[in-house]
Amino acid sequence: MRLRLALLVATLLLVRPALTGGARLAAQQASPYVPLEHWIMPYVEHLITAGVIDDPSPLTRPLRRADVLRALEAADTLRLSVATTATLHRLEAALATGQRGPHVRIEGGVGAAAANYARREPLAAIDSTGPRRSGPGHGTANADLDLALVTSHVVAVTHLQVDTRLKYDADWFGKKDRVIAGRTAEAYVDARWRFGDVFFGRLDRNWGPPGIQGLLLSANPYGLDHLALAVGTPKVQLQAIATQLDDRDSSGTVVHRYMMQHRLLFTPGGWGLALWEGSVLSGTARSFDLWYLNPLNAGIVEQWNNGGNVNSFVGLDFQRRGAVTLFGQLMLDDIQVDRAVAADKKPTSYALTVGLEGGVGGGPTAWRAWYTRVTNLTYRNEDDLQVPLYHLLGTGRNFDDYDQVTVTLGVLPRAGLLLTPELTVLRQGEGDPRQPHPTVAEYPTTATIFQGVVERTLRGALSGTFAASGRLSFGFDAGVHRITNFQHARGDTRTRFLGSVSLSYRFRHEGALP
């Protein structure tokens, strides 16, 4: 009850000026977000990586429609290839609106797909059982309807989807005993003004290098409703989110679970730097303590001073744009400084990502190479309910005890056709964030990384998407996985092919509000 009251009060206090402040508000136009899974996003990320357009929101996703459109319109087309220019104009047409004042936008689509695995990500679909189980092959159908009400400073969006794939997906926590599974992909009210915005609802987010799952906040969990706040300018901004994780049952008692994250983001010139932290709280009668809900407090300091039972994380995001862009993310979970007693000998918990990217020749080609590592006990805590999992899905990464090297190349050989060859090496230990935290007696035999037998996967793949027009699009992914120590059985080597194809048709209508 206290959480609901806090969210309601915060929403009313902060949204009210946007609704009633007319003359007091600066002319900062509200705009819906472009969902991370929207068909235009692979093209937008390719153009950013290739240096064709500026990143409207470094180290933060999703992007706003208006910001992406401005970036596309500002591109210097004189130096671009014919295919890149034509693709850029196709994206502009998809995002442009002829409505100047308050309006309603309706988008929808129907589609069909086929795949020999059920998960969203091929690298999450390696094994027959276990955390990376692939699920059954299937042919599926889907449809969606996206409704947006846009005024000068407030946006309301709801996006309904039905998709028969969900009932095969091991990550889907909803009903699976029906022919058609459905979900609300986005549902939010967002109020924006010149120096910030307030958001409440459901929307996939990612903090950190774009296109790579964030270490503590990513698009990995389905349907994470949250309250979000951003205050500042595009160059200096305080960002915060607060959410209620799913309740758990412990020995017949319901345990409430909450998470907050906030960060301070600096993006001067070609630099991007963000300092952030997160806290996961739980308890049988616990509410969202206001000292953690306060975005201007340091959660780890509040934990020390209030003696709270909390799992704390701190992190850093960075980016230096140039002909070759350097990017990365670091998260510290638990680092023991003292080694005086047995409890101090817990293995270090951390995670990191570091990489390089750039473009080649007028926008048709972009490349990226990156390395990531998540140690064995990252995300886990002595209190097994204080893990950043939502319905057993990581709010950041869905796996730990692994590292990965990935190299990709993005190519635009013709208008609307984006091809992406990929080479990945993945090493996965037997650790998993859903496992219980080891006892103090088990610390000496607990590895910092690569617990037990390490499963190794070499993936070579080619994926692509073709936007034949603003209405019709086609996508595919074809990859060969060479897996050594399959399912952590030493000496068992397998070769698997994972592939998917999809086809979709979309429509859109806009009109002024009466």
pLDDT digits (tens, 9 = 90+) for 241-263: 999 999 998 777 899 999 999 99
CA distance 124 to 117: 10
pLDDT at 345: 87
Distance of CA 427 to the CA centre of its chain: 22
pLDDT at 19 over 90: no
DSSP sequence for 412-454: EEETTEEEEEEEEEEEE-S--TTSPPPPGGGGGG--SS--SSP
pLDDT at 278: 96
**pLDDT tens sequence across 84-109:** 999 999 999 999 988 888 999 999 99
Structure tokens at 401: 């005890």
Q: What residues have CB less than 8 Å from 508, skipping those under 6 apart?
A: 105, 106, 107, 108, 470
pLDDT at 22 over 50: no
For 476-513, b/e burial (b = at least 16 CB within 10 A) is bbebebebebbbbeeeeeeebebbbebebebeeeeeee
The structural domains of the chain, ordered by start, are 2-512 (2.40.160.130)
Q: Is the pTM of this model over 0.85?
A: yes
The torsion region of residue 39 among left (phi > 0), alpha (psi -120 to 50) and beta comes to alpha
Count of beta carbons in the 10 Å neighbourhood of residue 217: 29
**pLDDT tens sequence across 216-235:** 999 999 999 999 999 999 89
Give the model's confidence band at 307: pLDDT under 50 very low, under 70 low, under 90 confident, else very high: low
Out of 75-89, 294-308, 313-327, least confident range: 294-308
pLDDT at 4: 47
pLDDT at 25: 32
pLDDT at 285: 86
pLDDT at 11 over 50: no
Q: What is the mean pLDDT of residues 478-493?
A: 97
Q: Are 50 and 363 in contact (CB under 8 A)?
A: yes
pLDDT at 15 over 70: no
Q: What is the mean pLDDT of residues 465-492?
A: 95
Out of 17-26, 134-143, 261-270, 425-434, least confident range: 17-26
CA distance 258 to 151: 32
CA distance 433 to 512: 49
Q: Are 279 and 292 in contact (CB under 8 A)?
A: yes
pLDDT at 180 over 90: no
**pLDDT tens sequence across 401-417:** 999 999 999 999 999 99
25 phi and psi angles, rounded to 5 deg: -90, 140
pLDDT at 27: 38
Could you tell me which residue, 457 or 234, shows the higher pLDDT?
457
**pLDDT tens sequence across 309-358:** 899 999 999 999 999 999 999 999 987 766 678 888 899 999 999 999 99
Structure tokens at 286: 């616990």
